[in-house]
Chains A and B, each alone.
Chain A
Amino acid sequence: MVVGLVVTVALVGASLFVGEYDIFGADDGAEMFGITRVPRTIALVLSGAAMAMCGLVMQMITQNRFVEPTTTGTTEWAGLGLLLVMIVAPDSSLLTKMTVAVATAFIGTSIFFAFLQRVTLRSSVIVPIVGIMLGAVVGAVSTFLALQTDMLQSLGIWFAGSFTGIIKGQYEPLLVVVLVVIAVFIASDRFTAAGLGEEFSTNIGLNYRAVVLLGTGLIAIATGIVTVVVGNLPFLGLIVPNIVSMFRGDDLRSNLPWVALTGICIVTVCDLIGRTIISPFEVPVSLILALVGAIVFIALIVKRR
């Protein structure tokens, strides 16, 4: 745990001090540090931890190792909500955008879960395929709408999740996900029990449906907010819980700090890579994540077989 903390702090520190602008040399270095580096790093920490936890909660609820917000369409739904707001009321506040994105994410995730309950195809690989298909359909609707309304470019920029544009005054809504993280921690045993099945949960006196609903709500809030502020962070919720599970099993309560730390580390590393490989320009973090995530995803499927 201590080692994990040290590594995370080191990475976060690196994130604070890596960049084109010379924060020590220039006169307004300290100011720039406060305006861009600190917000960017806080955003990295919060969204990394939140998306990793969302993946874990989702995997518990669906009892499937391969689901996370980007393989179940949750992110695409949030994106659709965001797009609708931009079309209907382009000048609306960040709060409105977030609320709508959270709402559509919730609806979309509920549809996915309802679908899963109806068709009991628990084959572990089919479930994420269904989710990815659902996400593709929603994504196609978004693209069509964007095409019709000349918003394709904004959509493209948004889909490529990136921390580049995170500056002071734009990242603050992310602080809400701290509450989500706390809620997940408090309800952690319930989610672990839900991961053991509906009958298991009922046997120990839990209301399974209530736990699923709570989980869906928390996932929607975190995904919706991260989506609006940062964008799409693919595979993060998939790789982190699986890596942690390999070493430490699935007891949510004792694992949550690990999941959060690993999530933070991976996002930070990917962002650092994105920031440095073609410096002074940047590659969106989602690009790096998708690359890393896809490799890990395939490795997991091969290993399970």
Chain B
Amino acid sequence: MITLSTVLRKYTAEVAIGPVDLEIPSGGITALVGPNGAGKSTLLTMIGRLMGMDAGSITVGGLDVSKTPSKELAKRISILRQENHFVTRLTVRQLVGFGRFPHSGGRLTVEDERVISEAIDFLRLDDLESRYLDELSGGQRQRAYVAMVLAQDTEYVLLDEPLNNLDMQHSVQMMKHLKRAAEELGRTIVIVLHDINFAGHYADHICALKHGEVVAFGTPEEIMVPDTLSSIFNTPIDVIDGPRGILACYY
């Protein structure tokens, strides 16, 4: 379980995130949604201890993120940011290998190699494992990054807009991979999503943010309601019954 209590981060006198009180349950996928500038990424980055907060506290699986040594946290929680432009040339396997750093400190054991291979297979990257990242397409590279955080073998996985720059096919594949990771590997995945329909279809919980505050939290059925969505996104939104479940229409 991830618990945020009165988490606050101030930018200017007017612009601030929080205070946020939130409990993200263990297991499954929790999607953070909301309009631009709502504070989704900021909140995720604070949970992943990449950014400090001005007040409040965050615990992940019982560990206080601002007090627990970074090294310990790296075995419990992994975070992937949206912008990953690496100057460094690494192969897919070398990158995924860095996921094992918290466990082995760089000297990979046989066990590490096994976990790395598993993560690579899980994201169907076996054919690409010795290719350099800069030789891959955007979708393949995104998969490699996700394989790396899976190899980190943490209970909690935080992903900041992993569907960014992916086309329809790759977005759907990515969400299926993540759904599988949550179900088969028992990970708790918290993910920032832009498209409410991806959240509605694949997430187990949706957390809606607006102006730096949590305005709604619940199952997709609870959140995917015309009035709720319309007020979150400041846009008239209808919800219809599609052939594969409920869909938000806002075009």
Contact = CB atoms under 8 A, between A and B. Distances in A.
A251 B74 contact: no
Contacts of A124: 87
Contacts of B237: none
A204 B88 contact: no
Contact of A204 (B72, B90, B99): B99
B90 A249 contact: yes
A299 B81 CA distance: 33
Interface in A186-226: 188-190, 192-193, 195-197, 199-200, 202-207
B52 to A, nearest CB: 12
B98 A196 contact: yes
B87 A63 contact: yes
Contact of B70 (A65, A192, A202, A249): A202
Most buried by B among A63, A189, A200: A200
Interface string A157-185: 00000000000000000000000000000
B214 interface: no
A238 B102 CA distance: 31
Interface in B57-94: 69-75, 78-81, 84, 86-91, 94
B88 A253 contact: no
Contact of A206 (B79, B101, B132): B101
Given A202-B50, A249-B94, A60 B102 contact: no
A204 B152 contact: yes
Interface residues of B, number: 31
A202 B90 CA distance: 19
B9 interface: no
A205 B101 contact: yes
B99 A249 contact: no
A63 B89 CA distance: 11
B236 interface: no
B98 A204 contact: yes
A206 B90 CA distance: 19
A143 interface: no
A251 to B, nearest CB: 5
Contacts of B73: 205
Contacts of A196: 86, 88, 90, 98
A64 interface: yes
A36 interface: no
Contacts of A203: 48, 50, 74, 78-80, 149, 152
A282 interface: no
A193 B94 CA distance: 11
A63 B88 contact: yes
Given A199-B81, A249-B94, A251-B94, A205 B102 contact: yes
Contacts of A99: none
B90 A251 contact: yes
B106 interface: yes
Contact of B87 (A65, A207, A253): A65
Contacts of B98: 189, 192-193, 196, 200, 204
B49 interface: yes
The bracket for how many chain A residues form the interface is: 20 to 34
A90 to B, nearest CB: 44
B35 to A, nearest CB: 24
A245 B102 contact: no
Contacts of B94: 249, 251
B89 A206 contact: no
A249 B87 contact: no
Given A199-B50, A205-B74, A251-B94, A60 B88 contact: yes
Contacts of B71: 205
A253 to B, nearest CB: 7
A174 to B, nearest CB: 28
B99 A64 contact: no
Contacts of B49: 202
A63 B83 CA distance: 14
Contact of B91 (A65, A190, A249): A249
Nearest to B71: A205
A102 B177 CA distance: 51
B109 to A, nearest CB: 14
Given A193-B98, A204-B98, A64 B87 contact: yes
Given A200-B84, A205-B101, 14 more contacts: A63-B87, A196-B98, A199-B50, A200-B98, A202-B70, A204-B74, A204-B98, A205-B69, A205-B73, A205-B74, A205-B102, A207-B70, A251-B90, A253-B106
21 contacts: A59-B87, A63-B87, A124-B87, A189-B101, A189-B106, A190-B106, A193-B98, A195-B86, A195-B88, A196-B90, A196-B98, A200-B98, A203-B50, A203-B78, A204-B102, A205-B69, A206-B101, A250-B90, A251-B91, A251-B94, A253-B106
Interface of A: 59-60, 63-65, 124, 188-190, 192-193, 195-197, 199-200, 202-207, 245, 249-251, 253
- Nearest first, the 3 closest Cβ-Cβ pairs linking A and B are A205-B74, A189-B106, A205-B71
